[in-house]
Structure 1
């Protein structure tokens, strides 16, 4: 473990930012000239997630370039309120700078151009430094991460002037953009993704809304405050918060922590004083699900309090199950796949004999129908399968013997342009894309047996083809693989439902790019409340399986390599193993902490329920 640091000035080492890590105390320096090419400030090497950076204050008589470098360094520090970074600013700039406004994430640490210029205004004095880098993402005021296609950073420059201090004239930054500017490795070291939870609009189950918080600055309080601030802008139209508008922590409450009984007491302001018991319990559920994401803290019970300190309501861990999508579904979920004879087979996750999968009962497992792509309902009682070379979609029981039913959806498209793989949402509805060039559309089959209806897709234009779709368990989000030209990209759409005159309209809107740095994506599966497992290639790279958050940020969890992967599947419960189809090894699965393990069968289209 290590970090690249610097010395400031001409031959005189300044106090560099101090890093603490698993290997001990690390402090390093490197010489930096006053002129030359672009200078990069690097606080840590990628992967140094346990390194802590303690920034240092400006040295006396520091040159303007040193002040800029020191400020960029201090933005990567762990100190509360960025107090050290503010020491590089004039008093006025320090008072007006709002680092929490936003974060701009660069592929590498920001660089300052060492060729500086005087301000252009007549009579002005000082120095101007332009910062450079490749922008790859932003984090907004609501803490929502948004990836971007890599592009040149075009932020405002830094302006420096001289101020009078007890030690004499000193250079300080008097004009700068709001927010933080961080390299990707420093962002990943200082910030972590957590889910806050809201309720699906008009429904009784929670939906994950990922945000980023500072890792070491009171994560419980940060996360609860983020929850009270409301959902992120993208997810907001599809979810409800049960907290009354304006609800916040009680005035004067600065920190939250569970007591020795693992109860988190949350004092609220007067906006929540008069809520009813049912609504209060839903509010407490939102808090309990949210703080449950924090591995550093164990919370088994949440107590919400009125502004006068009296108890509003209590919810404990055993009651969380009342607020999930399907209360009948329990771990373990079982994976399935289509064998070489076109029959649906089931793998018992807890079974000792992984080499002998069992065919399901009924027409999907007895060979009376040859299956293509499949989707298993979340209760594992029924499945849907594309048959007839992609022309028909059928639903059948996989618990009992039965005869084939009539198709629920039929496509009239030519070969290769018919039905996609189907997917079930947590409401029990079945989704499929009809890729007929004469009328491409997404179709929804209520309950898997109702009359199909067309989903409103204003973005499905000429030249765009849906390669695959996967619905989240909560039914609020949909992962889409869209092909445009020779490129297949991963997008997340928001599912919105509107009822008017007794008729429901379902739309998929506001598509967001999730993996803009991936050159091509060939398979995607939900792997938790806000995580996907994706098979694809990074630009200029080789094929890989990786985890990606639904906001587009990359998960820290690594996945061992596997040759010639064709498809990959994950369960909603993150404890279940990954399952994949490989040209070399057939159907394989990956248990936590192990390598890929063949199950002894060739086959295609591995799936978990959903």
Structure 2
């Protein structure tokens, strides 16, 4: 059997892609089953054509960038563009750099048998060894040298690793979700990855490889797995012949606990649901992992989303003119938050709807109050001139209220306010040193599963992992990633639409509202700007809810990115309003 080590994961998976890449594969209908075997090659590769004869140096470099993106047979398509000496030294699997579709290849020097081409590009990211996208933004210039070989130009000094355009990246790779667990093992958490799209028959095996290798670098410490560190995929998986995909494991970890076994199966089945519609058969060395059933579908699993989505009866609230009102009908909330006693600037409702955190500023300092939704609440001992809109951590169970809410004091000090045993709310620091490089923080929103934080700093969007040290009160924000820095330059608001999807409001008339992935995938959706009047000043989003924004003209709602924005009914928000709508979370 083979245990695939994480550093080799990228190389092994690419070496198994033995059919010409033609684009992203659709999920196939249920087909005759096959076992997922480690290192399944999937057939022989087709012969690789030579470059067109007579290509000039700059044209050859462009043709090489197109060909070298194909990972089939250890990037065989790119090798004919290199001199024989360069072919022996080229290490394409060492790194994958993604560049803008438009780039320049400028002849820098040409002699009868030697030439130089200046390749100038804009880097937008790279694919890590963990198969996760790592956003970046940097101009890049490389001098590529070429020599004549048998009368034809060939590259003698190729770029390091593989350089590919965004279009080619989207042709060769497809996005998938690998599912892990929050630290309390209550919620399945998606971890975005990118796998070679062809051949489609090998997709399940690649997904399982990623699952067994553990979380991506960006999510280290924020999520965990029910599968043991030594879990491996058995070699030589057998075809069952009855329409199930077989996942045959060895050393899966703790199989003595029925609850942990169910979590293992949930991670496997949910991860594979992205790439196959077949039933999933999970075994340990040929024996069913669970005595409960042999084959599994997503519908057979319990709901692993406790406290991550507000109930249908919680329609949202609104801060307007210092009062908190119902978003559905504009009626003030009962109690001091709704009658004007607090003069609320901003607020947040817990995901279960029972608690409320408000920010007011009656004097020089801001005040944070946390308590029951309609009850009077004391001021938390947290001295600050400014406090960002609070954001709630989900409850530990479906029947418990949340006991933790976050805010940012004076643009730099991230605080988590925790309910103590005697019922008082106490502020504790969050280690946010990794965020100091980005400047003043004006907003922070926790994902509703509690594993990620979206941060607005210096009008840009950053996503980081929420890392809780086991058996400790220490919490830190780690692995910050600056998302779409060339596009999102005037961010004013953000909220979580899904566990790994954000809705972002900007003051830009060109892109007032956009939906972006939590990993900074450069392919994103711009919401239809029809009816919006810049600048947008506030946004709220939640699963299975319309997105709501406030702009210079009022408050608007949209069910999807292609729809025209419509006036939010039930409450009158006039032009130039500073109203702040918010869903629970």
* Pairwise TM-score range, normalised by the shorter structure: 0.7 to 0.9
Aligned partner of 2:38 in structure 1 is none
The counterpart of 1:153, out of the listed 135, 140, 144, is 140
1:570 matched to 2:548: no
**What's the offset of the Cα at 1:146?**
1.6
1:338 alignment counterpart: 319
- RMSD over aligned CA atoms reads 3.8
1:207 aligns with 2:157: no
Q: Distance in 2 between matches of 1:249 and 1:62?
A: 46
Q: Is the 8 A contact 2:381 2:426 kept in 1?
A: no
Take 1:476 and 1:293, find their aligned partners in 2: how far apart are those partners?
21
* Secondary structure, aligned partner of 2:130: coil
State the 1:279 CA deviation: 3.3
Q: Distance in 1 between matches of 2:476 and 2:489?
A: 28
Q: Which residue in 2 is equivalent to 1:41?
A: none
| Partners of 2:381 and 2:565 in 1: CA distance | 36
Q: Which has the higher contact order (CA 8 A, sep 6+)?
A: 2
1:271 pairs with 2:258: no
User: Which residue number in structure 2 is paired with residue 529 of structure 1?
Assistant: 499
**Matched residues in 2 for 1:96 and 1:271: separation?**
38
Q: 1:367 offset after TM fit, Å?
A: 4.0
- Cα distance, 1:67–1:465 mapped onto 2, change above 3 Å: closer
1:469 aligns with 2:444: yes
Indicate the residue corresponding to 1:136 in structure 2.
Answer: 124
User: What does 1:526-565 correspond to in 2, within 5 Å?
Assistant: 526-536=496-506, 542-561=510-529, 562-564=532-534, 565=536
Given candidates 304, 329, 334, the residue that maps to 1:323 is 304
Structure 1 counterpart of 2:37: none
**Residues 452 and 570 from structure 1, CA distance in 2 versus in 1: closer, same or farther, beyond 3 angstroms?**
same
The equivalent of 2:271 in structure 1 is 290
**CA spacing shift, 1:252–1:91, aligned 2, 3 Å:** farther
Return the offset for 1:365: 3.1
Structure 1 pair 344–95 and aligned structure 2 pair: CA distance change class (3 A): farther
The CA deviation at 1:315 is 4.6
Decide whether aligned partners of structure 1 residues 78 and 472 sit closer, same or farther in structure 2, where only a CA change above 3 A counts. Answer: same
Shift, 1:523, TM fit: 0.6
| Secondary structure class of the residue paired with 2:229 | coil
TM superposition score normalised by structure 1: 0.73
- Tell me if structure 2 keeps the 8 A contact 1:338–1:345: no
Pair 1:73-2:54 in alignment: no
Q: 2:376 aligns with which of 377, 400, 404?
A: 404
Task: State the shift of 1:404 in Å.
Answer: 1.3
Give the Cα separation in 1 of the matches to 2:109 and 2:211.
43
Contact 2:21–2:72 (CA<8 Å) still a contact in 1? no
CA distance in 2, matches of 1:332, 1:79: 52
Give the CA deviation at 1:378.
0.7
Alignment check: 8 A CA contact 1:335 1:579 kept: no
1:489 counterpart = 2:463: no
Q: Is the 8 A contact 2:212 2:231 kept in 1?
A: yes
Evaluate the alpha carbon distance shift between residue 365 and residue 568 of structure 1 in structure 2; reply closer, same or farther with a 3 A threshold: same
- 2:199 corresponds to 1:221: no
Partner of 2:13: none
Assess if the C-alpha contact under 8 Å between 2:462 and 2:482 holds in 1: yes
Shift of 1:470: 0.6
Q: Please, which moves more after superposition, 55-64 or 471-480?
A: 55-64
- Asked whether the 8 Å contact 1:363–1:396 carries over to 2, the reply is no
Relative to structure 2, which stretch is displaced further, 439-448 or 128-137? 439-448
Q: Which residue of 1 aligns with 2:34?
A: none
2:392 to 412, 424, 431: 424
Per the TM alignment, residue 557 of structure 1 is displaced from its structure 2 partner at its CA by 3.1
Q: Deviations over 1:333-385 (max 9, x none)?
A: 633222346222133xxxxxxxx344444333344443221111111222211
Cα offset, 1:578, TM superposition: 0.6
What pairs up with 1:366-445 in 2 under 5 angstroms? 366-389=339-362, 391-398=366-373, 402-411=374-383, 413=384, 417-427=385-395, 428-436=402-410, 440-445=413-418
CA distance in 2, matches of 1:471, 1:20: 35
Asked whether the 8 Å contact 1:109–1:182 carries over to 2, the reply is no
Aligned partner of 1:58 in structure 2 is 51
Residue of structure 2 aligned with 1:583, choices 527, 552, 562: 552
SS of the residue corresponding to residue 526 of structure 1 reads strand
Pick one of 79, 83, 98 that aligns with 1:105.
Answer: 98
Q: Which residue of 2 aligns with 1:237?
A: 221
Q: Secondary structure at the match of 2:66?
A: helix
**TM-score, structure 2 as length reference:** 0.76
Match of residue 289, structure 2, among 312, 324, 339: 312
Instruction: Tell me the residue number matched to 1:6.
Output: none
* Shift of residue 328, structure 1, vs aligned partner: 8.2
Q: Secondary structure at the match of 2:357?
A: strand
- Partners of 1:481 and 1:560 in 2: CA distance: 23
Alpha-carbon distance, 1:260 to partner: 7.5
1:597 equivalenced with 2:566 (yes/no) = yes
For 2:90 and 2:232, locate their aligned partners in 1 and report how far apart those are by CA, in whole Å: 24
Residue pair 1:113, 1:129 contacting (<8 A) in 2 also: yes
